[in-house]
Amino acid sequence: MKRKRLKKIISLVIVATLSAMIFVGCGDSKKESGEDEQVLTYNLGADSKTLDPALNSSVDGGIVLSNAFEGLCRTDENDKAIEGGAESWTISDDQLTYTFKLREDAKWSNGDSVTAEDYEYAWKRVLNPETAAEYAYQMYYIKGAEAYNTGSGSVDDVGVKAIDDYTLEVQLESPTTYFLELTAFPCYFPVNKKVVEADPDWATKVDTYVSNGPFELTDWKLKDSLVFEKNQDYYDKDKVKLDKLIMKMVTDETSASASYKSGDFDMIDVVPISEIETGLADGSYTKFPNLGTYYLSINVTGENESDDVNKALQNEKVRKALSLAIDRDSIVKNITKGGEIPAYSFVPEGIPGADGNDFASKEYFKTSGNIDEAKKLLEEAGYKDGEGFPTITLLYNQEGAHGDIMQAIADMWKKNLGINVSLAQQEWKVFQTTRTDKNYNIARDGWLGDYVDPMTFLDLFTSTSSLNNSGFSNSEYDSLISEAKAETDSAKRDEILHKAEDILMDDMSIIPIYYYSQVKGIKSYVKDVRVSALGFVYFDRAYIDGK
Protein backbone atom coordinates (compact mmCIF):
# COMPACT_ATOMS: atom_id res chain seq x y z
CA MET A 1 0.00 0.00 0.00
CA LYS A 2 1.43 3.32 -1.04
CA ARG A 3 2.02 5.93 1.74
CA LYS A 4 0.56 8.93 -0.13
CA ARG A 5 -2.84 7.33 -0.28
CA LEU A 6 -2.89 6.17 3.34
CA LYS A 7 -4.60 9.19 4.93
CA LYS A 8 -7.45 9.16 2.46
CA ILE A 9 -7.92 5.43 2.85
CA ILE A 10 -8.00 5.70 6.65
CA SER A 11 -10.77 8.30 6.41
CA LEU A 12 -12.79 6.06 4.13
CA VAL A 13 -12.31 3.09 6.43
CA ILE A 14 -13.60 5.10 9.40
CA VAL A 15 -16.71 6.14 7.49
CA ALA A 16 -17.30 2.61 6.27
CA THR A 17 -16.89 1.22 9.77
CA LEU A 18 -19.40 3.66 11.23
CA SER A 19 -21.87 2.81 8.47
CA ALA A 20 -21.49 -0.89 9.13
CA MET A 21 -22.12 -0.34 12.85
CA ILE A 22 -25.34 1.50 12.10
CA PHE A 23 -26.78 -1.01 9.66
CA VAL A 24 -25.44 -4.37 10.80
CA GLY A 25 -28.70 -5.37 12.43
CA CYS A 26 -30.69 -4.78 9.27
CA GLY A 27 -28.48 -6.49 6.74
CA ASP A 28 -27.75 -3.31 4.78
CA SER A 29 -23.96 -3.19 5.08
CA LYS A 30 -21.79 -3.42 2.00
CA LYS A 31 -19.03 -5.71 0.89
CA GLU A 32 -15.77 -4.19 -0.22
CA SER A 33 -16.75 -5.08 -3.78
CA GLY A 34 -19.78 -2.80 -3.51
CA GLU A 35 -22.27 -5.67 -3.46
CA ASP A 36 -24.89 -5.94 -0.73
CA GLU A 37 -23.52 -7.99 2.13
CA GLN A 38 -25.72 -10.94 2.97
CA VAL A 39 -26.61 -10.44 6.66
CA LEU A 40 -29.50 -12.17 8.38
CA THR A 41 -30.59 -11.22 11.90
CA TYR A 42 -32.49 -14.00 13.66
CA ASN A 43 -33.89 -13.88 17.17
CA LEU A 44 -33.08 -17.21 18.78
CA GLY A 45 -35.07 -16.08 21.79
CA ALA A 46 -32.93 -17.78 24.42
CA ASP A 47 -29.54 -17.57 26.04
CA SER A 48 -28.28 -21.11 25.56
CA LYS A 49 -26.98 -22.84 28.66
CA THR A 50 -23.97 -24.21 26.76
CA LEU A 51 -22.57 -24.28 23.23
CA ASP A 52 -20.51 -27.42 23.79
CA PRO A 53 -21.84 -30.25 21.56
CA ALA A 54 -21.17 -32.76 24.33
CA LEU A 55 -23.10 -30.85 26.98
CA ASN A 56 -26.01 -29.22 25.17
CA SER A 57 -29.47 -30.71 25.61
CA SER A 58 -31.73 -27.82 24.53
CA VAL A 59 -33.24 -27.02 21.15
CA ASP A 60 -31.96 -23.44 21.18
CA GLY A 61 -28.41 -24.65 21.77
CA GLY A 62 -28.93 -27.31 19.11
CA ILE A 63 -29.89 -24.67 16.56
CA VAL A 64 -26.65 -22.81 17.22
CA LEU A 65 -24.57 -25.99 17.06
CA SER A 66 -26.21 -27.22 13.86
CA ASN A 67 -25.04 -24.11 12.04
CA ALA A 68 -21.55 -24.03 13.53
CA PHE A 69 -20.74 -27.75 13.37
CA GLU A 70 -21.34 -30.70 11.08
CA GLY A 71 -21.45 -34.42 11.83
CA LEU A 72 -20.61 -37.39 9.68
CA CYS A 73 -24.04 -36.93 8.11
CA ARG A 74 -26.37 -34.01 7.57
CA THR A 75 -30.11 -34.36 7.06
CA ASP A 76 -32.25 -33.44 4.06
CA GLU A 77 -35.66 -31.79 3.99
CA ASN A 78 -37.22 -35.09 5.15
CA ASP A 79 -34.74 -35.40 8.04
CA LYS A 80 -33.04 -38.35 6.38
CA ALA A 81 -29.27 -38.75 6.40
CA ILE A 82 -27.13 -37.42 3.56
CA GLU A 83 -23.36 -36.96 3.26
CA GLY A 84 -21.81 -34.46 5.63
CA GLY A 85 -18.35 -34.73 7.12
CA ALA A 86 -18.25 -38.22 5.64
CA GLU A 87 -18.29 -38.46 1.86
CA SER A 88 -19.29 -42.14 1.91
CA TRP A 89 -19.78 -45.16 4.15
CA THR A 90 -20.24 -48.91 4.03
CA ILE A 91 -22.35 -51.08 6.31
CA SER A 92 -21.53 -54.71 7.07
CA ASP A 93 -23.97 -57.49 6.16
CA ASP A 94 -24.97 -57.91 9.81
CA GLN A 95 -25.56 -54.12 10.02
CA LEU A 96 -23.29 -53.85 13.05
CA THR A 97 -20.18 -52.25 11.56
CA TYR A 98 -20.17 -48.86 9.83
CA THR A 99 -17.03 -47.66 8.06
CA PHE A 100 -17.06 -43.95 7.27
CA LYS A 101 -14.75 -42.32 4.73
CA LEU A 102 -14.20 -38.69 5.76
CA ARG A 103 -13.78 -35.79 3.36
CA GLU A 104 -10.11 -34.97 3.04
CA ASP A 105 -10.96 -31.33 2.33
CA ALA A 106 -12.95 -30.88 5.58
CA LYS A 107 -11.33 -28.25 7.78
CA TRP A 108 -11.82 -26.71 11.18
CA SER A 109 -12.39 -22.95 11.28
CA ASN A 110 -8.77 -22.52 12.42
CA GLY A 111 -7.54 -24.32 9.29
CA ASP A 112 -6.79 -27.69 10.91
CA SER A 113 -7.92 -30.82 9.06
CA VAL A 114 -10.93 -32.62 10.51
CA THR A 115 -9.73 -36.15 11.21
CA ALA A 116 -11.24 -39.44 12.29
CA GLU A 117 -9.40 -39.00 15.57
CA ASP A 118 -11.46 -35.85 16.23
CA TYR A 119 -14.65 -37.91 15.92
CA GLU A 120 -13.35 -40.73 18.09
CA TYR A 121 -12.21 -38.25 20.72
CA ALA A 122 -15.51 -36.32 20.66
CA TRP A 123 -17.73 -39.38 20.99
CA LYS A 124 -15.68 -40.89 23.80
CA ARG A 125 -15.67 -37.50 25.50
CA VAL A 126 -19.49 -37.55 25.54
CA LEU A 127 -19.42 -41.04 27.05
CA ASN A 128 -16.75 -40.24 29.62
CA PRO A 129 -18.54 -40.32 33.01
CA GLU A 130 -16.55 -37.27 34.11
CA THR A 131 -18.05 -35.21 31.27
CA ALA A 132 -21.53 -35.78 32.74
CA ALA A 133 -23.15 -35.37 29.33
CA GLU A 134 -26.94 -35.61 29.56
CA TYR A 135 -27.06 -37.02 26.05
CA ALA A 136 -24.56 -39.83 26.73
CA TYR A 137 -27.41 -42.37 26.58
CA GLN A 138 -27.96 -41.40 22.95
CA MET A 139 -24.68 -43.16 22.17
CA TYR A 140 -25.58 -46.43 23.87
CA TYR A 141 -26.19 -47.87 20.41
CA ILE A 142 -22.40 -48.10 20.09
CA LYS A 143 -20.75 -51.28 21.32
CA GLY A 144 -19.42 -50.88 24.85
CA ALA A 145 -20.73 -47.32 25.19
CA GLU A 146 -23.20 -47.88 28.02
CA ALA A 147 -20.75 -49.96 30.02
CA TYR A 148 -18.09 -47.25 29.78
CA ASN A 149 -20.50 -44.43 30.58
CA THR A 150 -21.95 -46.20 33.60
CA GLY A 151 -18.56 -47.17 35.01
CA SER A 152 -18.64 -50.90 34.34
CA GLY A 153 -16.53 -50.92 31.18
CA SER A 154 -13.40 -49.48 29.64
CA VAL A 155 -13.04 -46.72 27.09
CA ASP A 156 -10.88 -49.14 25.10
CA ASP A 157 -13.92 -51.36 24.58
CA VAL A 158 -16.06 -48.60 23.03
CA GLY A 159 -16.69 -49.47 19.38
CA VAL A 160 -15.34 -46.26 17.82
CA LYS A 161 -11.92 -46.34 16.18
CA ALA A 162 -9.97 -44.07 13.87
CA ILE A 163 -8.42 -46.49 11.35
CA ASP A 164 -6.45 -43.67 9.76
CA ASP A 165 -6.83 -39.90 9.41
CA TYR A 166 -9.88 -40.21 7.18
CA THR A 167 -11.45 -43.56 8.09
CA LEU A 168 -13.69 -44.07 11.12
CA GLU A 169 -15.00 -47.49 12.11
CA VAL A 170 -18.05 -47.80 14.35
CA GLN A 171 -19.40 -51.02 15.84
CA LEU A 172 -22.95 -51.16 17.17
CA GLU A 173 -24.53 -53.29 19.88
CA SER A 174 -27.42 -54.19 17.57
CA PRO A 175 -28.71 -53.11 14.14
CA THR A 176 -30.05 -49.56 14.29
CA THR A 177 -31.93 -48.39 11.22
CA TYR A 178 -31.64 -44.71 12.16
CA PHE A 179 -27.97 -44.69 13.16
CA LEU A 180 -26.97 -42.53 10.18
CA GLU A 181 -29.53 -39.92 11.25
CA LEU A 182 -28.05 -40.03 14.75
CA THR A 183 -24.65 -39.01 13.40
CA ALA A 184 -26.25 -35.72 12.28
CA PHE A 185 -27.30 -34.94 15.87
CA PRO A 186 -25.24 -32.43 17.91
CA CYS A 187 -23.88 -34.86 20.52
CA TYR A 188 -22.29 -36.78 17.62
CA PHE A 189 -20.54 -33.71 16.24
CA PRO A 190 -16.74 -33.80 16.25
CA VAL A 191 -14.65 -31.37 18.28
CA ASN A 192 -11.09 -30.30 17.64
CA LYS A 193 -9.13 -32.53 20.00
CA LYS A 194 -6.12 -30.21 20.12
CA VAL A 195 -8.22 -27.16 21.03
CA VAL A 196 -10.42 -28.89 23.61
CA GLU A 197 -7.54 -30.56 25.41
CA ALA A 198 -5.64 -27.26 25.54
CA ASP A 199 -8.52 -25.36 27.17
CA PRO A 200 -11.44 -26.99 29.04
CA ASP A 201 -13.39 -23.69 28.69
CA TRP A 202 -12.95 -23.59 24.93
CA ALA A 203 -16.72 -23.43 24.29
CA THR A 204 -17.17 -20.22 26.28
CA LYS A 205 -14.86 -17.93 24.29
CA VAL A 206 -14.84 -16.66 20.71
CA ASP A 207 -11.10 -17.14 20.23
CA THR A 208 -11.22 -20.86 21.06
CA TYR A 209 -14.65 -21.69 19.66
CA VAL A 210 -13.37 -23.72 16.73
CA SER A 211 -16.02 -25.43 14.61
CA ASN A 212 -16.28 -27.34 11.32
CA GLY A 213 -19.65 -26.22 9.95
CA PRO A 214 -20.83 -23.54 7.52
CA PHE A 215 -20.49 -20.70 10.04
CA GLU A 216 -17.83 -19.66 12.57
CA LEU A 217 -18.36 -17.60 15.69
CA THR A 218 -16.77 -14.14 15.48
CA ASP A 219 -18.47 -12.20 18.29
CA TRP A 220 -20.36 -13.11 21.46
CA LYS A 221 -22.15 -10.71 23.77
CA LEU A 222 -23.60 -12.63 26.72
CA LYS A 223 -27.39 -12.46 26.92
CA ASP A 224 -27.41 -10.29 23.81
CA SER A 225 -26.11 -11.90 20.62
CA LEU A 226 -23.97 -14.42 18.82
CA VAL A 227 -22.43 -13.29 15.54
CA PHE A 228 -21.44 -15.89 12.99
CA GLU A 229 -19.72 -15.37 9.66
CA LYS A 230 -19.29 -17.70 6.75
CA ASN A 231 -16.60 -20.24 7.58
CA GLN A 232 -14.04 -19.72 4.84
CA ASP A 233 -12.48 -23.09 5.69
CA TYR A 234 -15.76 -25.00 5.20
CA TYR A 235 -15.48 -27.42 2.30
CA ASP A 236 -18.87 -26.39 0.90
CA LYS A 237 -18.48 -22.63 1.50
CA ASP A 238 -19.34 -21.74 -2.09
CA LYS A 239 -22.95 -22.82 -1.42
CA VAL A 240 -23.19 -20.73 1.74
CA LYS A 241 -24.71 -17.42 0.68
CA LEU A 242 -24.91 -15.55 3.98
CA ASP A 243 -21.86 -13.51 4.91
CA LYS A 244 -23.08 -13.00 8.44
CA LEU A 245 -25.67 -14.61 10.69
CA ILE A 246 -26.60 -12.66 13.82
CA MET A 247 -28.45 -14.62 16.49
CA LYS A 248 -30.14 -12.37 19.03
CA MET A 249 -31.26 -13.45 22.51
CA VAL A 250 -34.34 -11.33 23.17
CA THR A 251 -36.44 -13.54 25.44
CA ASP A 252 -39.50 -11.29 25.62
CA GLU A 253 -41.71 -12.29 22.71
CA THR A 254 -43.49 -8.93 22.47
CA SER A 255 -40.19 -7.05 22.24
CA ALA A 256 -38.89 -9.51 19.65
CA SER A 257 -42.08 -9.13 17.61
CA ALA A 258 -41.75 -5.34 17.68
CA SER A 259 -38.19 -5.58 16.36
CA TYR A 260 -39.39 -7.99 13.67
CA LYS A 261 -42.15 -5.64 12.57
CA SER A 262 -39.77 -2.68 12.48
CA GLY A 263 -37.31 -4.61 10.31
CA ASP A 264 -34.53 -4.92 12.90
CA PHE A 265 -35.04 -8.70 12.93
CA ASP A 266 -35.39 -10.65 9.71
CA MET A 267 -36.64 -13.76 11.49
CA ILE A 268 -37.90 -14.61 14.97
CA ASP A 269 -38.04 -18.10 16.42
CA VAL A 270 -41.05 -17.61 18.70
CA VAL A 271 -44.01 -15.27 18.26
CA PRO A 272 -46.50 -13.92 20.83
CA ILE A 273 -49.57 -16.11 21.20
CA SER A 274 -51.84 -13.09 20.87
CA GLU A 275 -50.50 -12.44 17.36
CA ILE A 276 -50.52 -15.97 15.94
CA GLU A 277 -53.96 -16.06 14.35
CA THR A 278 -53.62 -12.66 12.70
CA GLY A 279 -50.01 -13.29 11.68
CA LEU A 280 -50.81 -16.63 10.05
CA ALA A 281 -53.73 -15.07 8.21
CA ASP A 282 -51.76 -12.14 6.78
CA GLY A 283 -48.65 -14.19 6.01
CA SER A 284 -46.28 -12.46 8.41
CA TYR A 285 -45.95 -15.70 10.36
CA THR A 286 -45.49 -19.24 9.09
CA LYS A 287 -46.45 -22.54 10.71
CA PHE A 288 -44.18 -25.59 10.44
CA PRO A 289 -44.64 -29.18 11.60
CA ASN A 290 -42.92 -30.04 14.86
CA LEU A 291 -42.34 -33.58 16.09
CA GLY A 292 -42.61 -33.09 19.82
CA THR A 293 -44.69 -33.21 22.99
CA TYR A 294 -45.28 -30.54 25.64
CA TYR A 295 -45.78 -32.16 29.03
CA LEU A 296 -45.43 -31.93 32.79
CA SER A 297 -42.81 -33.87 34.73
CA ILE A 298 -43.80 -34.99 38.24
CA ASN A 299 -40.93 -35.53 40.66
CA VAL A 300 -41.54 -39.11 41.84
CA THR A 301 -38.12 -39.63 43.39
CA GLY A 302 -39.26 -38.85 46.93
CA GLU A 303 -36.77 -35.97 47.04
CA ASN A 304 -39.30 -33.15 47.35
CA GLU A 305 -38.75 -30.82 50.30
CA SER A 306 -42.03 -31.75 51.95
CA ASP A 307 -42.92 -35.28 53.10
CA ASP A 308 -46.57 -34.48 52.45
CA VAL A 309 -45.78 -33.55 48.84
CA ASN A 310 -43.71 -36.73 48.42
CA LYS A 311 -46.55 -38.86 49.74
CA ALA A 312 -49.04 -37.25 47.39
CA LEU A 313 -46.97 -37.24 44.21
CA GLN A 314 -45.69 -40.78 44.66
CA ASN A 315 -49.30 -41.99 44.63
CA GLU A 316 -50.17 -43.21 41.14
CA LYS A 317 -53.87 -42.41 41.61
CA VAL A 318 -53.01 -38.80 42.43
CA ARG A 319 -50.93 -38.47 39.27
CA LYS A 320 -53.72 -39.94 37.15
CA ALA A 321 -56.23 -37.61 38.77
CA LEU A 322 -54.05 -34.62 37.96
CA SER A 323 -53.88 -35.72 34.33
CA LEU A 324 -57.61 -36.37 33.96
CA ALA A 325 -58.48 -32.98 35.48
CA ILE A 326 -56.83 -31.14 32.57
CA ASP A 327 -58.86 -29.98 29.57
CA ARG A 328 -56.22 -30.08 26.83
CA ASP A 329 -58.70 -29.05 24.15
CA SER A 330 -59.27 -25.78 25.96
CA ILE A 331 -55.55 -25.11 26.33
CA VAL A 332 -54.78 -25.38 22.61
CA LYS A 333 -57.94 -23.56 21.60
CA ASN A 334 -57.84 -20.66 24.02
CA ILE A 335 -54.19 -20.28 25.01
CA THR A 336 -51.58 -21.64 22.62
CA LYS A 337 -53.55 -21.02 19.37
CA GLY A 338 -50.71 -22.17 17.14
CA GLY A 339 -52.22 -25.29 15.62
CA GLU A 340 -51.05 -27.57 18.45
CA ILE A 341 -52.82 -30.92 18.83
CA PRO A 342 -54.18 -31.95 22.25
CA ALA A 343 -52.07 -34.89 23.42
CA TYR A 344 -53.60 -38.30 24.10
CA SER A 345 -50.28 -40.18 24.37
CA PHE A 346 -46.64 -39.32 24.92
CA VAL A 347 -45.32 -40.31 21.48
CA PRO A 348 -46.76 -37.60 19.21
CA GLU A 349 -48.48 -37.90 15.88
CA GLY A 350 -46.24 -37.84 12.81
CA ILE A 351 -44.15 -41.00 13.20
CA PRO A 352 -45.12 -43.82 10.81
CA GLY A 353 -45.39 -47.30 12.30
CA ALA A 354 -44.42 -50.58 10.65
CA ASP A 355 -47.97 -50.95 9.29
CA GLY A 356 -47.83 -47.59 7.54
CA ASN A 357 -50.22 -45.98 9.99
CA ASP A 358 -49.26 -43.45 12.64
CA PHE A 359 -47.52 -45.01 15.65
CA ALA A 360 -49.59 -42.78 17.96
CA SER A 361 -52.73 -44.87 17.51
CA LYS A 362 -53.86 -45.36 21.11
CA GLU A 363 -55.86 -42.83 23.14
CA TYR A 364 -54.67 -43.19 26.73
CA PHE A 365 -57.04 -40.50 28.04
CA LYS A 366 -59.64 -38.11 26.70
CA THR A 367 -58.15 -34.79 25.67
CA SER A 368 -61.14 -32.95 27.13
CA GLY A 369 -60.49 -34.53 30.52
CA ASN A 370 -62.62 -36.72 32.76
CA ILE A 371 -63.49 -34.81 35.92
CA ASP A 372 -65.66 -37.50 37.51
CA GLU A 373 -62.94 -40.13 37.20
CA ALA A 374 -60.32 -37.65 38.41
CA LYS A 375 -62.34 -36.90 41.56
CA LYS A 376 -62.89 -40.59 42.18
CA LEU A 377 -59.18 -41.37 41.93
CA LEU A 378 -58.27 -38.48 44.22
CA GLU A 379 -60.78 -39.70 46.80
CA GLU A 380 -59.38 -43.24 46.58
CA ALA A 381 -55.94 -41.76 47.22
CA GLY A 382 -57.26 -40.25 50.46
CA TYR A 383 -57.86 -36.67 49.35
CA LYS A 384 -61.61 -36.30 48.82
CA ASP A 385 -62.35 -32.92 47.22
CA GLY A 386 -58.71 -32.02 47.79
CA GLU A 387 -59.03 -32.12 51.58
CA GLY A 388 -55.63 -32.61 53.18
CA PHE A 389 -53.80 -32.31 49.89
CA PRO A 390 -50.60 -30.28 50.29
CA THR A 391 -49.98 -27.14 48.26
CA ILE A 392 -47.78 -28.10 45.33
CA THR A 393 -45.47 -25.85 43.36
CA LEU A 394 -45.74 -25.83 39.57
CA LEU A 395 -42.42 -24.66 38.12
CA TYR A 396 -41.81 -23.26 34.64
CA ASN A 397 -39.29 -21.14 32.77
CA GLN A 398 -40.24 -17.50 32.40
CA GLU A 399 -39.59 -17.21 28.66
CA GLY A 400 -42.56 -17.51 26.33
CA ALA A 401 -46.18 -18.14 27.23
CA HIS A 402 -45.59 -21.00 29.67
CA GLY A 403 -47.00 -18.91 32.49
CA ASP A 404 -50.41 -18.70 30.82
CA ILE A 405 -50.49 -22.47 30.30
CA MET A 406 -49.37 -23.23 33.85
CA GLN A 407 -51.93 -20.80 35.27
CA ALA A 408 -54.69 -22.53 33.30
CA ILE A 409 -53.61 -25.94 34.58
CA ALA A 410 -53.41 -24.66 38.16
CA ASP A 411 -56.92 -23.22 37.83
CA MET A 412 -58.23 -26.56 36.51
CA TRP A 413 -56.70 -28.46 39.43
CA LYS A 414 -58.20 -25.98 41.89
CA LYS A 415 -61.63 -25.95 40.30
CA ASN A 416 -61.91 -29.64 39.49
CA LEU A 417 -60.02 -31.22 42.40
CA GLY A 418 -59.82 -28.60 45.13
CA ILE A 419 -56.02 -28.62 45.00
CA ASN A 420 -54.01 -25.48 45.76
CA VAL A 421 -51.10 -24.76 43.43
CA SER A 422 -48.29 -22.26 43.81
CA LEU A 423 -46.72 -21.05 40.57
CA ALA A 424 -42.98 -20.39 40.34
CA GLN A 425 -40.81 -19.31 37.44
CA GLN A 426 -37.09 -19.29 36.71
CA GLU A 427 -34.79 -18.07 33.95
CA TRP A 428 -34.19 -20.72 31.28
CA LYS A 429 -30.59 -21.54 32.24
CA VAL A 430 -31.45 -21.89 35.93
CA PHE A 431 -34.65 -23.78 35.21
CA GLN A 432 -32.86 -26.46 33.19
CA THR A 433 -30.50 -27.17 36.09
CA THR A 434 -33.31 -27.16 38.67
CA ARG A 435 -35.33 -29.61 36.62
CA THR A 436 -32.39 -31.93 35.91
CA ASP A 437 -31.41 -31.90 39.57
CA LYS A 438 -35.04 -32.72 40.46
CA ASN A 439 -35.39 -29.80 42.85
CA TYR A 440 -39.08 -29.32 42.08
CA ASN A 441 -42.58 -30.76 42.66
CA ILE A 442 -44.07 -30.56 39.17
CA ALA A 443 -42.32 -28.83 36.27
CA ARG A 444 -43.05 -27.83 32.71
CA ASP A 445 -41.23 -30.05 30.26
CA GLY A 446 -41.07 -30.71 26.56
CA TRP A 447 -39.34 -32.99 24.12
CA LEU A 448 -38.67 -32.72 20.40
CA GLY A 449 -37.64 -35.88 18.57
CA ASP A 450 -33.96 -36.28 17.76
CA TYR A 451 -34.88 -38.52 14.82
CA VAL A 452 -38.11 -39.82 13.30
CA ASP A 453 -38.77 -42.91 15.39
CA PRO A 454 -40.78 -43.66 18.57
CA MET A 455 -37.55 -44.62 20.34
CA THR A 456 -36.43 -40.99 20.52
CA PHE A 457 -39.36 -40.37 22.88
CA LEU A 458 -39.48 -43.62 24.81
CA ASP A 459 -35.83 -44.24 25.67
CA LEU A 460 -35.92 -40.85 27.38
CA PHE A 461 -37.44 -42.53 30.45
CA THR A 462 -35.15 -45.46 31.04
CA SER A 463 -33.69 -45.59 34.53
CA THR A 464 -30.23 -44.62 33.28
CA SER A 465 -31.32 -41.68 31.10
CA SER A 466 -29.95 -38.42 32.50
CA LEU A 467 -32.78 -36.57 30.74
CA ASN A 468 -35.41 -38.53 32.65
CA ASN A 469 -36.44 -35.49 34.68
CA SER A 470 -39.28 -37.13 36.61
CA GLY A 471 -37.15 -39.92 38.05
CA PHE A 472 -39.53 -42.58 36.68
CA SER A 473 -37.92 -46.00 37.07
CA ASN A 474 -39.41 -49.33 36.03
CA SER A 475 -37.37 -52.48 35.36
CA GLU A 476 -39.94 -53.94 32.96
CA TYR A 477 -39.93 -50.69 31.01
CA ASP A 478 -36.13 -50.73 30.82
CA SER A 479 -36.18 -54.32 29.57
CA LEU A 480 -38.73 -53.52 26.87
CA ILE A 481 -36.66 -50.59 25.58
CA SER A 482 -33.56 -52.80 25.47
CA GLU A 483 -35.53 -55.53 23.72
CA ALA A 484 -36.88 -53.07 21.14
CA LYS A 485 -33.39 -51.80 20.38
CA ALA A 486 -32.28 -55.34 19.55
CA GLU A 487 -35.40 -56.33 17.58
CA THR A 488 -34.97 -56.28 13.78
CA ASP A 489 -38.57 -57.18 12.89
CA SER A 490 -40.33 -53.80 12.53
CA ALA A 491 -43.79 -55.04 13.47
CA LYS A 492 -42.54 -56.83 16.58
CA ARG A 493 -40.48 -53.81 17.50
CA ASP A 494 -43.54 -51.54 17.33
CA GLU A 495 -45.45 -53.99 19.50
CA ILE A 496 -42.70 -53.89 22.13
CA LEU A 497 -42.57 -50.09 22.07
CA HIS A 498 -46.35 -49.87 22.47
CA LYS A 499 -46.08 -52.05 25.58
CA ALA A 500 -43.43 -49.71 26.93
CA GLU A 501 -45.62 -46.66 26.35
CA ASP A 502 -48.50 -48.48 28.08
CA ILE A 503 -46.36 -48.73 31.22
CA LEU A 504 -45.30 -45.09 31.01
CA MET A 505 -48.84 -43.81 30.56
CA ASP A 506 -50.20 -46.07 33.30
CA ASP A 507 -47.64 -44.69 35.74
CA MET A 508 -48.33 -41.08 34.68
CA SER A 509 -45.17 -39.61 36.20
CA ILE A 510 -45.32 -37.40 33.12
CA ILE A 511 -48.50 -35.71 31.91
CA PRO A 512 -48.67 -35.01 28.15
CA ILE A 513 -50.47 -31.76 27.34
CA TYR A 514 -50.18 -31.22 23.58
CA TYR A 515 -48.15 -32.04 20.48
CA TYR A 516 -46.08 -29.11 19.31
CA SER A 517 -46.33 -27.02 16.18
CA GLN A 518 -43.86 -24.28 15.20
CA VAL A 519 -44.91 -20.75 14.32
CA LYS A 520 -42.08 -18.47 13.27
CA GLY A 521 -41.76 -15.02 11.85
CA ILE A 522 -39.84 -15.06 8.56
CA LYS A 523 -39.75 -12.03 6.28
CA SER A 524 -40.69 -12.65 2.66
CA TYR A 525 -37.22 -11.64 1.50
CA VAL A 526 -35.58 -14.38 3.58
CA LYS A 527 -35.11 -17.37 1.30
CA ASP A 528 -34.26 -21.05 1.77
CA VAL A 529 -34.13 -21.24 5.55
CA ARG A 530 -34.87 -24.86 6.45
CA VAL A 531 -37.01 -25.44 9.53
CA SER A 532 -36.87 -29.09 10.54
CA ALA A 533 -39.76 -30.91 12.19
CA LEU A 534 -37.16 -31.91 14.78
CA GLY A 535 -36.85 -28.27 15.87
CA PHE A 536 -33.58 -27.29 14.21
CA VAL A 537 -33.24 -24.27 11.92
CA TYR A 538 -30.60 -24.42 9.19
CA PHE A 539 -29.13 -21.34 7.52
CA ASP A 540 -26.46 -22.99 5.34
CA ARG A 541 -28.49 -22.32 2.16
CA ALA A 542 -30.34 -19.19 3.32
CA TYR A 543 -30.03 -15.79 1.64
CA ILE A 544 -31.64 -12.35 1.46
CA ASP A 545 -33.37 -11.32 -1.75
CA GLY A 546 -35.48 -8.21 -2.30
CA LYS A 547 -35.16 -6.55 1.09
| CB distance 216 to 109 below 8 Å | yes
Which residues partner with 43 through β-bridges?
248, 268
Task: Tell which residue, 267, 282, 238, has the closest CA to residue 541.
Answer: 238
The pTM score is: 0.87
pLDDT at 32: 54
| CB distance 195 to 210 below 8 Å | yes
pLDDT at 400: 81
Q: What residue segments make up the domains of the chain, in order of their start?
A: 70-194, 288-518
For 81-140, the pLDDT digits (tens) are 999 999 999 999 999 999 999 999 999 999 999 999 999 999 999 999 999 999 999 999
Q: Does domain 70-194 fall into CATH 3.40.50.2300?
A: no
| CB distance 409 to 438 below 8 Å | no
Q: Which residues of the chain have pLDDT under 50?
A: 1-30, 33
Task: Tell which residue, 45, 23, 49, 34, has the closest CA to residue 432.
Answer: 49
Pairwise CA distance, residues 315 & 383, whole Å: 11
pLDDT at 393: 98
Task: Tell which residue, 297, 445, 321, has the closest CA to residue 381.
Answer: 321
pLDDT at 16: 35
CATH number for the domain formed by residue range(s) 288-518: 3.10.105.10
pLDDT at 35: 66
pLDDT at 254: 95
Q: Which helix (H) or strand (E) holds 282?
A: helix 273-282
| CB distance 481 to 462 below 8 Å | yes
